[in-house]
Amino acid sequence: MTAAGADSPRLDARILLAQAMGVTRDDLIAATRPPTAAEAQIYEGLIARRLAREPLAYITGRKGFWSLDLKVGPGVLVPRPETETLIEMALSLFPDRSMPLAIADLGAGTGALLAAALTEFPQAQGTAFERSPEAFLYTRDNLAAFGDRAKLAASDWAQAGESSFDLIFSNPPYIPTGDIAALAPEVRLFEPLAALDGGADGLDAYRSLAALLPGVMRPGAVALLELGQGRGGLVESLYGNLSVDRVAPDLGGIPRVLVLKKPK
């Protein structure tokens, strides 16, 4: 897989072998038996998919995010570690975990952000808005464990205008159309274009959110928007009708989260 361009071929190979043998990666390390002939055949098929640069998460059907193990697959964006910065910011801005927050996840995809937020705020309730029928299947499955605390809206986030919220998350499509062709094959060839393409300048979704957010944020509410690299200043300029609190960096030091507040 090194020749195919995979970033971590040995780790990928171990994960896929564990998948083929029906064990966890930790169990694989402790295992003493070789794979059976049937398992070896399954493994070869998984390796072939990875050599074609299919995302590892699509092959295994799972992806870790925050403290969660999420269901993922074709048709939904794979959650990234940098997106966890939005949850970190929410926890710093709302230190009282017992608050009965009303939360929205706009363009929820897997539902990762709302699932993590509802885990950290056990008295909160939230609504996930996802317009893609394919992605919505994962939204539904990943939020099922939260029962009535998680409402699902199979619709564009414009439908959020009928409600109001204390905390809003969004990881919108923000890659300029002209940059899509340069993305890694795992992203460009497999992940849904609608979750990536932000229009000619990468700002289309942010313009839509700028029109929506003031009307759905309660007084004192916070909106946390993920940013693409180098997009901070351009995005900030769209939100003159809200208070730009800060742009928070991810663990790599890249400006990652635009923090917006509505005055009380």
pLDDT digits (tens, 9 = 90+) for 59-87: 999 999 999 999 999 999 999 999 999 99
Per the domain annotation, does 3 fall within a domain?
no
- Contact between 161 and 185 (Cβ < 8 Å): no
Shared domain check, 106 and 41: no
CA distance 60 to 44: 14
pLDDT tens by residue, 96-134:
999 999 999 999 999 999 999 999 999 999 999 999 999
Q: Percentage of the chain surpassing pLDDT 90?
A: 80
Shared domain check, 221 and 155: yes
Domain that holds residue 257: 63-261
How far are the Cα atoms of 49, 157, 158, 212, 213 from residue 162, in angstroms, in the given order? 43, 10, 9, 11, 12
Whole-model pTM above 0.85?
yes
Q: How confident is the model at residue 32 (pLDDT cuts 50, 70, 90)?
A: low
Rounded to 5 degrees, φ, ψ at 223 are -120, 135
Per the domain annotation, does 4 fall within a domain?
no
Shared domain check, 88 and 69: yes
Q: Does pLDDT of 47 surpass 90? A: yes
Shared domain check, 124 and 15: no
Q: What pLDDT is attached to residue 86?
A: 98
